[in-house]
Structure 1
Amino acid sequence: MIKGINKKNPSLKPSQLLPLSLLEIVYEEKPHNRIFFLKEARNYFLSYKVQNHVIKAGITLFMAEILNHSIKEEEANILLYDFLEKTIIRLETQEENVAFYPIWFLIRLSSFLGITPLDNYSSETITFNMEEGKFQENVPERNTYVAGENVKTLSLLIKAFSSSDYFIPNIHIKDKTAIIDILIRYYHQHLPGFGEIHTHKILKEVLNS
């Protein structure tokens, strides 16, 4: 909890609390109280370009909502934090096309959440089973699968992004937002209480603009 944020001269300004801001903080922890009061904070990395870049700003809002819906643990997770910190900094410094960034983020984040889809696509396994998280030959009985032209594209992106830093793959995709929709459905399938994502609608507009 932040005290005095609406005062005339607050110690912590709202501009410091933009989505996915990287902060060093000092907070007050009281025994038997689950509410922590923020006393001091400073940005140790400023995302100037993200704030003024329409596509990057849309991607940031999208990533923040995905994280808010998917991370429920309260314990420290250093590996996850390190990944997120590098992801935020990389988005700020990435000068080339960032249109693949949301897809890369969803695939990479899935490994930290324990729901990484299996990279087993072949000429025979041309259906992606959402529930099992793998490619298979037969269409599942339940309506939790993806078929058609997006399956091979999804498999190529899983292979490219599952264990690598962000880069722009040499893959032509007619509609990147269709792949994002598939991955959001996949998250819904594997994360109970994931909830509805709203910012991907904004993301579609900026990616297709």
Structure 2
Amino acid sequence: MLHKTSGIVISYILYRETSIIVKVYTEKFGIQTYIENGVRSSKGKNKIALFQPLTILDLVVYHDPKKDINRLSEIKCPNPLLSIPYNIKKSSIALFINEILSKSLKEHAENIEMYNFLITSIDSLDKKETQFENFHLVFLLHFAFYIGFGAESATEIKNQLYEFALQIPIDKVHESSINLLLKSNYEDFLPLKREHRSQVLDILIGFYQIHIEGFGEIKSVSVLKTVLDS
């Protein structure tokens, strides 16, 4: 059966000569996997540029909950990203956020509040012109609530890390920064020293690791830190 839904591209892999298999976080069905034929062919009606991570698409999809992979019928990109692909700092943040999403989004069910949060986050990053160096930290703290383990304070995060014997140093400066970030939104800006931003990021990744099974290493962290500190 055909359904209309919007969706956020998470990732894709090449399939056969001209096709891809793409993961999309959809408004109606949660995380879904689709096959798109001919997208890598010069004769294909859709181009692979439509499937870059965090691109927001309007879709008509075939949906059978019994299948692991469904098909796409129609694809439109009404509001392409205007700055994220062309700003190295923003694209590094987007790459990091995309990796977090790929490891965190597992439900095959509608979650309108989470979906709207992600759409708003992507739109905010794309539109911000300055002072987005802490964007990923605010994202991590707020996104944790939507996937079930949000913390109310830095002390709560600290205690949970210690409970799991995760050896990540957390001093008073880190706690203060996290508490301020918890109260912040994307429009606020907290001036953090480079080393503090990097250390807070390590703390928050550790926080995710103890809550999400198989979360593992985040490969994009080194690139993110290098670009933001340049």
Q: The TM-score by the shorter chain falls in which range?
A: 0.7 to 0.9
Among candidates 189, 202, 226, match of residue 169 of structure 1: 189
Alpha-carbon deviations, 1:70-125, whole Å to 9, x = none?
1111101111110111111111111121101000110110110111123275xxx9
* TM-score in terms of structure 1 length: 0.84
Taking the aligned partners of 2:42 and 2:117, their CA distance within structure 1 comes to 36
Q: Aligned residue pairs: how many?
A: 194
Shift of 1:190: 1.0
- The equivalent residue for 1:37 is 71
Select the residue among 47, 52, 55 that pairs with 2:81.
Answer: 47
> Secondary structure at the residue paired with 1:177?
helix
**Coordinate RMSD, CA, aligned:** 2.3
- Residue segments in structure 1 that go unaligned for 5+ positions in a row: 132-138
Q: Note if contact 1:129-1:144 (Cα within 8 Å) is conserved in structure 2.
A: no
Describe the shift of the 1:141–1:12 C-alpha distance in structure 2 as closer, same or farther (beyond 3 A). Answer: closer
Q: Please list the CA deviations of residues 157-185 of structure 1 after superposition, one character each: whole Å capped at 9, or x if unmatched.
A: 22x23xxx312334443421221111011
More strand by share: 2
Question: 3-state DSSP class of the match of 1:130?
Answer: helix
Q: Distance in 2 between matches of 1:88 and 1:118?
A: 24
Shift in alpha-carbon separation, 1:143–1:38, aligned structure 2, 3 A: closer
Residue in 2 aligned with 1:194?
215
1:147 aligns with 2:159: no
Residue 160 of structure 2 corresponds to which residue in structure 1? 130
Structure 2 gap ranges (5+): 1-34
Q: Which residue of 1 is the match for residue 180 of structure 2?
A: 156
2:137 to 63, 78, 103: 103
- After TM superposition, list the pairs within 5 Å mapping 1:42-121 onto structure 2: 42-119=76-153, 121=155
AA aligned opposite 2:198:
T
Q: What's the counterpart of residue 19 of structure 1?
A: 53
Q: What is the distance in 2 between the residues matched to 1:103 and 1:8?
A: 40
Q: What's the % identity of the aligned pairs?
A: 26
1:128 match: secondary structure: helix
CA change 1:4–1:169 in 2 (3 A) is same
Are positions 1:208 and 2:229 aligned together?
A: yes
1:40 is displaced (CA, Å) by 1.5
